[in-house]
Structure 1
Amino acid sequence: MNVHTAAKPAAGSKTPSLPEAKPEAIGLSRTRLQALSDTFKREVDKGTMPGATVLVARRGQIGWFDAIGRQSPLAGAPMAQDSIFRIFSMTKPIVSVGIMMLLEDGHFLLNDPVAKFIPEFSETKVGVERNGTLELVPAKRQMTVQDLLRHTSGLTYDHTGNGLVQRLYQQSRLRSRKITNAEHATMLASMPLICQPGAEWNYSRSTDVLGRIIEVVSGQTLGGFLHERILAPLGMAETAFHTGEENAGRLAEAFTTDPWSREKVQLFNMLERPAMESGGGGLVSTTMDYARFAQMLLNGGTLDGTRIIGRKTLAFMASDHLGADVRIQGTLVSPGHSFGLGFAVRTQQGIAPFTGSVGQFFWSGMAGTFFWIDPSEDLIAVFMMQGPGQREYTRSLVRNGVYAAVE
């Protein structure tokens, strides 16, 4: 096999591989790719992470797929190419593609109000902080499906700040995996928005609400819809909202204590079937599974002769949907970037503190997973680890290392 492999997939792995090639045959430097792997070997040796996988494909072929370090800090098993990870917010691009497939099917328009599908959202108010109290004011307009896709809905997350609206989230059961998607949406609708719809980009539970809209429109569970329309057609056999006991030996785990902050790390149990199929962060997956999804995106919506979504629909999703008028809150959308429908999008060659190409689109997961699509270089990269506190640091390491290898 031409691909550099530290650990081959288990014989029972059900996900078909993407084609493989020598790095030099697809315009990648083997020396620089080895330097990329060496970077993460050093991180493992320093105790920054238990282990990681890194996959780089160009022109539709994998030129590098390495598994580094250990799968879990509590077991001696090496990280493997088919190790299973919590991908958290890398669930969002999959669900965003799913909702846009329903749009292509003619079920709704992007500027339809969310309340059309979840009536409780018709009464939602905006919370304005004044002198330490929360004043509720009417929304100037309804949040739309497009707002959910681009995180301009006025919803938020409990962990992105400590404002009065976020404190209400923190005191609620929104993080419970024991409530249904319908219960979660109703609970969210009862809480005030953090800003007027369309005014700001706030990373949020918007994609969880999209998951509920998929259920309402399709008449299926979110997991059932994703399996039927995206995961099974792409051969993503290892991606779901939980995995079976037979895979207990393949689960990637984080350190129980963060190596930098010394805070306790608690991630959900991948073997437990949740009631809440979180469209914003509930899927587990493997490196190859997600690489197949990413290659489909790079191919303009198709893989191995199966079309998932239209080429023009996907190009629309990977465009700037914020413009100059929407204020971006937080640090998740870096300088030189904007946000589309389910992805961050690079809009300038410079400005950001890491390498990239204009037009690339990407997202990441809270526990350390990361992927991007670079159409101008015909390239995808998928990086997997379970290290919440180191995720931003490692994203830049992997970007810089991969782009150093492009010839």
Structure 2
Amino acid sequence: MASGLTQDTDPAEVGLDPARLARLDRRLARWVDDGQLPGFLVTVSRRGRLAHVGRAGSRNVEEGLPVEEDTRWRIFSMTKPVTSVAAMMLYEEGLLELTDPITKWLPEFADTRVYVAGSAQKPVTQPQMQPIRVAHLLTHTSGLTYGFHHAHPVDAVYRAMGHEWGTPPGADSAEVCRQWASAPLVFQPGTEWNYGVSTDVLGRLVEVVSGQPLDVFFEERIFRPLGMTDTSFGLREDDDVASLARLYAAVPGQPGGAATGFAPLDTMGAAAHSTPTFLSGGGGLVGTAADYVRFAEMLRRGGSFDGGRLLGPRTLAHMVRNHLPGGADLETFGRPLFAETPLRGVGFGLGFSMVIDPVRYGGVASVGDYSWGGAASTAFYVDPVEDVVVTFFTQLLPSSTLPIRAHLRALVNQAIVA
């Protein structure tokens, strides 16, 4: 695979029909033309060859700046797989076990109680039946939550502390973990799946276990070995702010109807203009498509890329296996709320979701196809059966605005002809 985003093969040479693949760009561009999407960049690789790069629209609509191949994107929760890989690197070094209680390094969670009943102001709680373990953070079965869910009294507890789409000003990773540890867990660790700040706590765990700030660990242990030169926690001092795509929020239409357009979300977007105090392992990175393609290719290749090996193949294979009890899917074991994936027919491993039942999932997909996405509608997936890696970048909140992820799989899969 060539460096940057240079297409390095004819699609037909890797079993992709170019005419059918063109449908992908046309469908995505229709959302741009209809004023529902500011702009996008999409990549399709097969058998380790970059076979397609498509882009259209603007990274900043108001200033007329087009999407470029070196545009930087807030990847939000696509940070989570990076943090999960970091934790598993420490596992491979014998520095932690998946069954270890996190109180071994984060003692503040020893006294965290579990919600049973009551309101956010007066919750009724009980002690933990078992401690939060490293594996619970990786699988989102810890009982931690997100303030922006608006689905449970504990979500409101988080919001009251200043945790919704951000964290309290000046609080670093150690402080935010202390704050989350002071709130009740939504359920007993290991008993349910709930999308939440688990990976942020995992990022703090990586810091304590490794003895390095998360940005330093990422740079030295992940980005540099993979050649990811343009990914960081917020923009660096010498980065051009104009290279960062503007963040937009969908403008709601009629109740229950589709969004009618989008508007700038500059207050939230400005948080990525510099290195934040809180290095969010769950959602803090900005970077280029070329960088994330390299990360995704490392996953596809079993833990190494371009001479940089981060993980052993067996470790990577374990991460992308469904870890939900009894082989359950997220709809059965999880809570019916926002997540960066459909819930039917989808399992969850150590940092990734994966298709376990394509029929129940509701679209053409391979068993074992694994993925994740970000709040601003970014997404990636790796299909180990068809040997395909797909990445998609835009900056539109929330990620549920358009059915982008379903269309990606449908339009890429229909182009595979050999």
TM-score normalized by structure 1?
A: 0.92
Unaligned runs of 5+ in 1: 4-14
The answer to whether the 8 Å contact 2:41/2:392 transfers is yes
Amino acid at match of 2:286: V
Of 64-73 and 259-268, deviating more is 259-268
**2:403 match:** 393
Q: Matches of 1:16 and 1:385 in 2, distance apart?
A: 18
Correspondent of 1:248 among 237, 241, 248: 241
Q: Matches of 1:209 and 1:388 in 2, distance apart?
A: 24
1:63 correspondence with 2:37? no
Cα distance, 1:130 vs. partner? 4.0
Alignment of 1:59-208 (within 5 A): 59-130=47-118, 133-174=122-163, 175-176=166-167, 178-208=170-200
The answer to whether the 8 Å contact 2:298/2:304 transfers is yes
Cα separation, partners in 2 of 1:41 and 1:261, compared to 1, 3 Å: closer
Correspondent of 2:208 among 216, 225, 238: 216
**2:321 match:** 319
Q: Matches of 1:143 and 1:256 in 2, distance apart?
A: 35
Cα separation, partners in 2 of 1:22 and 1:215, compared to 1, 3 Å: same
After superposition, give the CA deviation of every residue in 1:272-314 in whole Å (9 maximum; x if it has no partner): 2200000000000111100000000000011122211110000
After superposition, give the CA deviation of every residue in 1:208-249 in whole Å (9 maximum; x if it has no partner): 001101110111100000111111100001110011354222
1:381 correspondence with 2:390? yes
Of 261-270 and 290-299, deviating more is 261-270
After superposition, give the CA deviation of every residue in 1:304-356 in whole Å (9 maximum; x if it has no partner): 22211110000000001103377211253421111000000111131112321
TM-score normalized by structure 2?
A: 0.90
Of 371-380 and 258-267, deviating more is 258-267
**2:255 match:** none
**2:358 match:** 349
The answer to whether the 8 Å contact 1:19/1:60 transfers is no
Unaligned runs of 5+ in 2: 253-258
Q: Matches of 2:295 and 2:21 in 1, distance apart?
A: 22
After superposition, give the CA deviation of every residue in 1:148-170 in whole Å (9 maximum; x if it has no partner): 00000000011123321110001
Q: Matches of 2:129 and 2:97 in 1, distance apart?
A: 20
Of 165-174 and 258-267, deviating more is 258-267
**1:10 match:** none
Amino acid at match of 2:217: F
Secondary structure, counterpart of 1:54 in structure 2: strand
Cα separation, partners in 2 of 1:404 and 1:22, compared to 1, 3 Å: same
| Identity, % of aligned positions | 38
Secondary structure, counterpart of 2:117 in structure 1: strand
**2:231 match:** 239
1:32 correspondence with 2:28? no
**1:369 match:** 378
**1:284 match:** 286
Of 88-97 and 347-356, deviating more is 347-356
Q: Matches of 1:258 and 1:390 in 2, distance apart?
A: 13
Amino acid at match of 1:27: G
Of 116-125 and 262-271, deviating more is 262-271
The answer to whether the 8 Å contact 2:250/2:398 transfers is no
